[in-house]
């Protein structure tokens, strides 16, 4: 008989989570960055590492030796100005590899820069593993590469991709003409490097098999140095060095086979391909005559990802989202384990194994729900012991959060639009102030889960509806239409109908109905006020696109310029669908937020919108931050944004 899982608390100690006596501040609590990110387990299962936020955009990597008195000790810190931690993983029991990311201003504009670094668990022996620019480097070294195989059987070595650019000392013993993207075997202790795949100019990705062999390479197809949106994937037979064609993939319409991972035991590549207009997961044999087999497809939605576990990143299942997040495991052992964990944690149905020891006896488990941001656990497979590690948002412990309900509402043409309704805890769904909150993207979708923005406004008494309007991804080609810019009339119509539905059902007081969105959601908020000025009484737009023509122009000197032009399109819809060009039609107050370091949407989009609205006599305020990017990853800035948006909406609604 299977042993019953039993739960105990590890009780990690960290000054990061020190208790305070301050009164509860909703904006600070909900706006706080997650208190734990990227928790990982050492190969022997005796230590964990995680990233915690510090002041501003800074972060600290903590390492914990598990045992009777586990204490979190800082090992590495990123100042946030500009460098930020983007994730850390164990490569041995004493060594970790981290990705550091930042945005810098140069004469050519804003540039994203990343580097891969390695450190000992105590914070010593820091090594930069990426290539770095020297005095005579010809060009920018922006991307630092990534680890593609942790090589669990080879100590502190890793396989990682690295970018090469020429050195002006060409012709001397210290010069180099190498250019492109390659794979190196890197000793993370000493920094010594051995070339595995020489750099190629058109290479954009490599996939290893978890056993130290590169089996797949992606080659970008370019025309006159510009991206075409097509990638050709090459593969190798087992034991061969010869590259063969595997597939062609179109990033614009997602046609063709796109490989994600290699299983060396089955000698297959797992990847996505469309079936009946929706993404499904297939496996493609890596032999003399590759053949394809369907692994999993859903009749309603795209299958969005593979589930991989272990130090060798074994593919064990797939994930997808219908109303809620779902998984399908084809590894029977992992499936049984996950089902047991579900029984042990019935109130936290969003459950994933995120890491494991090399022997797959100990696992890091993350479990969450719509009203719980999540808790991390350590599970011992032999003893069936499930230990509580750390909450993902400790500021919200003990706070009653709202439940989220999947709903559908009718669009004007009768189409049923899915969405998620969050109601204030303990309140009836009648005559409430309400917010429609369209998601970003537009190639994205909302899911049934904890959402700090929706939860904050629900805690302040607002009903929040998040519509997955047509133009959202995840539902297949027919739902995506031509995307939310080319088909903005359909997408914005669905967003407006979300507001009308809230009022028609008596959930929202029509005089207290607003719209708030981030990125494309901010665009949708503004454009909704252009199309139907009377539906929403106030608009909050965070980092919004406001001018579709300018969005294209912002990519003028980038290699993806032609792709962005095609994505947005040409014709009357560009001007008609730009809030900036139609600002005089907006008759309700507008509040804008934007970071000056935004690489996704230039801050100029908000500055011009604010000026145009003010010139038209519409009440408008723009709040900016000089050192923040699109995500506004600063707890104080997010808290400021929440307080200001709450006060703005209450004033606009006469509350």
User: Contact at 8 Å (CB) between 423 and 429?
Assistant: yes
pLDDT digits 0-9 by tens, 387-407:
999 999 999 999 999 999 999
**Torsion sign (Cα): 493, 499, 501, 504:** negative
Lowest mean pLDDT among 99-113, 196-210, 272-286, 566-580: 99-113
Q: Which residues, other chains included, contact 47 with Cβ-Cβ below 8 Å and sequence gap of 6+? A: 41, 63, 64, 65, 66, 90, 93, 121
The first and second tokens of residue 354, run together, are 């995120």
Taking the C-alpha atoms of residue 547 and residue 542, their distance in angstroms, rounded to an integer, is 15
Instruction: Tell me which residue of 119, 128, 183 sits closest to 156, measured CA to CA.
Output: 119
pLDDT digits 0-9 by tens, 201-212:
999 999 999 999
Assign domain 404-652 to its CATH architecture.
3-Layer(aba) Sandwich (3.40)
Is residue 605 helix, strand or coil? helix
Beta bridge partners of 73: 63
User: Does 19 score more than 60 pLDDT?
Assistant: no
Q: Is the peptide bond before 610 cis (omega within 30 degrees of 0)?
A: no
Give the pTM.
0.94
User: Contact at 8 Å (CB) between 147 and 97?
Assistant: yes
- Residue ranges per domain, the chain? 42-211, 404-652
Taking the C-alpha atoms of residue 419 and residue 494, their distance in angstroms, rounded to an integer, is 11
User: Contact at 8 Å (CB) between 320 and 337?
Assistant: no
Lowest mean pLDDT among 183-192, 220-229, 263-272, 341-350: 220-229
pLDDT digits 0-9 by tens, 77-121:
999 999 999 999 999 999 999 999 999 998 878 999 999 999 999
Taking the C-alpha atoms of residue 41 and residue 356, their distance in angstroms, rounded to an integer, is 6
**Distances from the Cα of 62 to the Cαs of 9, 57, 92, 254, 386, in angstroms?**
19, 16, 16, 39, 21
Taking the C-alpha atoms of residue 570 and residue 553, their distance in angstroms, rounded to an integer, is 13
Task: Report angle CA 306, 52, 55 to the nearest 5 degrees.
Answer: 135
Residue 250's CB: how many other CB atoms inside 10 A?
14
The per-residue DSSP string of 404-438 comes to EEEEEEE-TTSPEEEEEEE--TT--SSSEEEEE--
Taking the C-alpha atoms of residue 411 and residue 431, their distance in angstroms, rounded to an integer, is 21
């Amino acid at each position: 008989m299977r042993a019953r899982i039993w739960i105990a608390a590890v009780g990690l100690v960290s000054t990061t989570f020190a208790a305070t006596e301050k009164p509860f501040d909703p904006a600070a609590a909900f706006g706080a960055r997650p208190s734990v990110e990227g928790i990982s387990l050492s190969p022997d299962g005796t230590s964990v590492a995680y990233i915690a936020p510090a002041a501003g955009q800074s972060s600290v990597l903590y390492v914990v030796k598990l045992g009777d008195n586990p204490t979190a000790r800082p090992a590495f810190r990123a100042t946030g100005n500009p460098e930020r931690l983007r994730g850390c993983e164990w490569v041995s029991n004493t060594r970790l590899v981290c990705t550091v990311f930042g945005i810098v201003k140069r004469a050519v504009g804003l540039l994203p820069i990343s580097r891969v670094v390695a450190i000992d668990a105590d914070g010593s022996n820091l090594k930069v593993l990426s290539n770095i620019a020297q005095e005579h480097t010809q060009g920018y070294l922006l991307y630092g590469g990534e680890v593609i195989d942790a090589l669990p059987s080879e100590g502190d070595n890793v396989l990682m991709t690295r970018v090469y650019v020429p050195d002006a000392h060409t012709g001397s013993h210290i010069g180099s003409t190498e250019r492109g993207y390659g794979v190196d075997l890197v000793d993370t202790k000493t920094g010594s490097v051995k070339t595995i795949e020489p750099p190629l100019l058109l290479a954009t990705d490599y996939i290893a098999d978890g056993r130290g062999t590169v089996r797949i390479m992606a080659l970008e197809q370019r025309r006159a140095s510009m991206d075409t949106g097509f990638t050709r994937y090459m593969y190798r037979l087992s034991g061969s060095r010869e590259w063969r064609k595997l597939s062609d993939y179109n990033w614009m319409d997602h046609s063709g086979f796109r490989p994600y991972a290699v299983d060396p035991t089955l000698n297959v590549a797992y990847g996505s391909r469309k079936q009946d207009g929706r993404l499904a997961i297939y496996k493609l044999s890596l032999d003399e005559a590759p053949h394809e087999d369907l692994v999993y497809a859903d009749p309603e939605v795209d299958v969005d990802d593979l589930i991989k576990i272990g130090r060798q990143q074994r593919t064990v299942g797939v994930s997808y989202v219908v109303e809620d997040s779902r998984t399908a495991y084809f590894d029977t052992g992992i499936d049984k384990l996950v089902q047991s964990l579900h029984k042990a944690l019935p109130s936290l149905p969003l459950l994933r194994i995120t890491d494991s020891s090399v022997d797959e006896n100990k696992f890091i488990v993350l479990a969450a729900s719509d009203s719980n941001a999540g808790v991390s656990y350590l599970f011992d497979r032999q003893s069936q012991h499930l230990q509580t590690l750390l909450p993902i948002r400790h500021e919200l412990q003990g706070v009653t959060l709202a439940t989220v309900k999947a709903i559908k509402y009718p669009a004007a043409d009768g189409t049923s639009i899915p969405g998620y309704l969050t109601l204030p805890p303990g309140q009836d769904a009648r005559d409430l102030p309400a917010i429609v909150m369209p998601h970003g993207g537009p190639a994205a979708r909302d899911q049934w889960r904890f959402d700090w923005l929706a939860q904050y406004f629900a805690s302040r008494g607002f009903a929040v509806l998040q519509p997955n309007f047509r133009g959202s991804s995840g539902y297949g080609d027919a739902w995506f239409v031509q995307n939310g810019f080319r088909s903005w009339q359909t997408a914005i119509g669905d967003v407006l109908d979300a507001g009308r539905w809230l009022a028609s059902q008596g959930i929202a007081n029509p005089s207290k109905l607003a719209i708030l969105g981030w990125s494309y959601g901010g665009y949708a908020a503004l454009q909704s006020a252009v199309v139907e000025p009377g539906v929403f009484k106030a608009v909050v737009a965070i980092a919004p696109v406001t001018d579709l023509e300018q969005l294209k122009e912002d990519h003028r000197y980038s290699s993806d310029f032609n792709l962005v032009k095609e994505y947005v399109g040409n014709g009357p819809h560009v001007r008609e669908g730009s809030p900036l060009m139609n600002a005089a039609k907006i008759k309700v107050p507008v509040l804008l937020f934007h970071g000056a370091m935004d690489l996704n949407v230039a801050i100029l989009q908000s500055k011009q919108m604010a000026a145009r609205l003010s010139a038209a006599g519409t009440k408008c305020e723009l709040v900016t931050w000089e050192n923040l990017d699109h995500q506004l990853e600063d707890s104080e800035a997010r808290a400021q944004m929440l307080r200001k948006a709450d006060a703005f909406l209450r004033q606009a609604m006469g509350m």
